[in-house]
């Protein structure tokens, strides 16, 4: 039986962004620019390119700019039209025009699992995607599209996987299981284990395709690592039932959730831009030695 189409993607964007204070005092971290586009826009564009029709933003008080990003900007658009800048006009309208956006407020910071559960009323009883805006992935085929293709064969839950240096396991959900080619049959997941306790160095990065059953599991998931309700813990239950697979996807992933990661991503993406690369290379070459 062919599986249902995935129409909706949940984007948890309620985090405080403490790592970027004071910038995030009144600019949500998802709106910080990677060169000249907010991180959020890369991730939203990825979802749209993979055929997602509706974004469910799980947001928080003070993060109105995230929602506003998807609204029309009539004043700006009229001004750009007067200036004859149709090139910029397209950039400004691009993603927002192609996708329906709904928001739900997460009133308490209780973790990623809780954020996903908060989206339940807007997702309903259908499979859905989750994209974490901190993980920006540059790839030929959108990463979430790769996951959706793999999921269409297997059903259940499909998570994006990447091998990480063994000393970095405490930053990720880590999987155990058997790998064949680029697929992992996931038998267990553990949230941010210390290297000595990590079952492998295969890490979950922020792209998931999830069945609606995950909501019931999240309802019953007690606080885990960091006192938060972890999506990883609910997925571990699903994995115990043989319903989780992973895809070692193709693409380069940047962790824009830390200042150093955002800098790294900025440099990499700018070096791929013909209008910026020569100037940036010159600046880098002329940096004084430290």
Which class for 207: exposed (0-12), middle (13-18), buried (19 or more C-beta within 10 A)? buried
Nearer to ligand G1P, 80 or 244 (CB): 244
Label each residue of 74-112 as H, E or C: HHHHHHHHHCCCHHHHHHHHCCHHHCEEEEEECCCCCCH
Beta strand pairing status for 244-248 and 100-105?
unpaired
Nearer to ligand G1P, 142 or 173 (CB): 173
Query: From the CB of 191, what's the least distance to ligand G1P, in Å?
Result: 5
Nearer to ligand G1P, 206 or 246 (CB): 206
Which residues are at the interface with ligand G1P (CB under 6 A)?
112, 132, 134-135, 172-173, 191, 203-206, 230, 232, 257
Query: From the CB of 170, what's the least distance to ligand G1P, in Å?
Result: 10
Instruction: List CB contacts of 124: < 8 A, sequence separation 6 or more.
Output: 212
- Count the neighbouring beta carbons within 10 Å of the beta carbon of residue 234: 27
Nearer to ligand G1P, 127 or 206 (CB): 206
Contact 239/187 with Cβ under 8 angstroms?
yes
Query: From the CB of 211, what's the least distance to ligand G1P, in Å?
Result: 18
Nearer to ligand G1P, 30 or 135 (CB): 135
Query: From the CB of 180, what's the least distance to ligand G1P, in Å?
Result: 22
Exposure string for 69-87, b = 16+ CB within 10 A, e = fewer: bbeeeeeeeeebeeeeeee
256/9 Cα distance (integer angstroms):
20
Nearer to ligand G1P, 80 or 186 (CB): 186
Nearer to ligand G1P, 203 or 214 (CB): 203
Query: From the CB of 175, what's the least distance to ligand G1P, in Å?
Result: 10
Query: From the CB of 253, what's the least distance to ligand G1P, in Å?
Result: 9
Query: From the CB of 240, what's the least distance to ligand G1P, in Å?
Result: 17
Alpha-helical runs (H) found in the chain: 39-49, 64-68, 74-82, 86-93, 112-118, 120-123, 143-154, 213-219, 231-240, 259-271, 277-285
Q: Among all residues, whose Cβ is closest to ligand G1P? A: 173
């Amino acid at each position: 039986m062919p599986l249902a189409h995935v129409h909706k993607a949940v984007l948890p964007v309620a985090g405080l962004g403490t790592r970027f204070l004071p910038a995030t005092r009144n600019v949500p971290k998802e709106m910080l620019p990677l060169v000249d586009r907010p991180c959020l826009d890369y991730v939203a564009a990825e979802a749209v390119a993979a055929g997602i029709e509706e974004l469910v933003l799980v947001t928080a008080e003070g993060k109105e700019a995230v929602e506003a990003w998807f609204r029309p900007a009539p004043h700006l658009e009229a001004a750009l039209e007067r200036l004859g800048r149709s090139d910029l006009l397209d950039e400004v309208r691009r993603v927002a025009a192609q996708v329906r956006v709904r928001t739900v407020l997460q009133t308490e910071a209780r973790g990623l699992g809780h954020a996903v559960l908060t989206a339940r009323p807007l997702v309903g009883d259908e499979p859905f995607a989750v994209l974490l805006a901190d993980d920006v992935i540059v790839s030929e085929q959108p990463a979430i599209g790769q996951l959706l293709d793999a999921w269409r064969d297997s059903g259940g839950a499909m998570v994006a996987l990447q091998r990480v240096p063994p000393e970095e396991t405490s930053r990720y959900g880590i999987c155990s299981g058997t790998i064949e080619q680029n697929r992992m049959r996931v038998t267990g997941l553990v949230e941010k284990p210390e290297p000595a306790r990590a079952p492998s160095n295969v890490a979950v990065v922020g792209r998931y395709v999830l069945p609606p059953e995950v909501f019931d599991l999240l309802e019953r998931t007690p606080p885990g690592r960091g006192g938060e309700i972890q999506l990883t813990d609910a997925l571990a239950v699903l994995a115990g039932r043989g319903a989780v697979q992973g895809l070692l996807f193709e693409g380069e992933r940047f962790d824009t959730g830390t200042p150093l990661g955002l800098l790294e991503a900025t440099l990499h993406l700018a070096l791929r831009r013909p209008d910026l690369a020569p100037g940036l290379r010159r600046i880098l070459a002329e940096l004084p030695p430290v």
